[in-house]
Amino acid sequence: MPLSFHKMHANGDDFVIVDSRNSPNPITGNMARRMGDRNRGVGFNQLAVVLDCDDADARLVFWNADGTTLDACGSATRGAADMLMRESNMTSVVLRTSRGLLTCERTSTGAITVNMGKPLLGWSDIPLALEMDTSMLPLAGDPAACSMGNPHCTYFVDDLTAVEIATIGPIIETNPMFPQRTNVHFVQIIDREHIRLRIWERGGGIAQGSGSCSCGAAVNGIRRGLLDNSVEVECDGGVVTVQWDGVGSVFLTGPVETVFSGIVADTLLKA
């Protein structure tokens, strides 16, 4: 059967939504990798499959462009929530992911807020290879680590323009300290309520933005005592807001936009 999809983005962090309610999940790792190819496929940072769910409005399953799975994607979660709210003419939905049940709401400005759940701060939950203090890892530059359902490693730097993201990012992503690899953030603190963030995304490379990375970077800054509980995160593609009280859930707020909808050709599906 033809596979339809919606291409969306959140501040340039592009993703694809495949709506498979009332049907089996059609996506495999090989198919996600073919669709994620920016030259021969649709192209995306992540893909989210929307599935039926007994205890929520829908269930989401996420894929990276390299065909690997992930448990959290703040941008695609906002995109799926936006689609479902428009469809039902509602201002809130509940979505099930591997992170549990996530409540999503539309703000008065049209942005989407997602309760991303509590960050995971223990070394075995992130996970790291060895027991250690996750607020200051024994790596050059003293980064911090946490998990938002996927691993995050945050460096705090004085000047983002001096950081060679494409060189350092893949080295840290694949460091043996991170058995499941890691997203890598480079943060310049503008003030206690505003950071500039650049991202090397696990399985994706340099990204214009990332919801879960924005959350991870803000959480690590708040843990260090460098940031207040509400932070404006300025990525290459735009701005989101992250709120965390240091104890409970992390709340992510930002815009999403639909770019186009289409049908994947049989030749790509059968490749």
Q: In the predicted model, is pLDDT for residue 142 greater than 70?
A: yes
Q: How confident is the model at residue 181 (pLDDT cuts 50, 70, 90)?
A: very high
pLDDT in tens, 193-211: 999 999 999 988 899 999 9
CA atoms within 13 A on the CB side of 113: 15
What are the φ/ψ torsions at residue 183 (nearest 5 degrees)? -70, 150
Q: What value does the mean pLDDT take over residues 31-45?
A: 94
Domains along the chain with CATH numbers: 3-112+256-269 (3.10.310.10), 144-248 (3.10.310.10)
Buried residues in 135-157 as b, exposed as e (16+ CB within 10 A): eebeeeeebbbbbbbbbbbbbbb
pLDDT in tens, 200-243: 999 888 999 999 999 999 999 999 999 999 999 999 999 999 99
Q: What distance in Å separates the CA atoms of residue 167 and residue 5, rounded to the nearest whole number? A: 34
pLDDT in tens, 74-132: 999 999 999 999 999 999 999 999 989 999 999 999 999 999 999 999 999 999 999 99
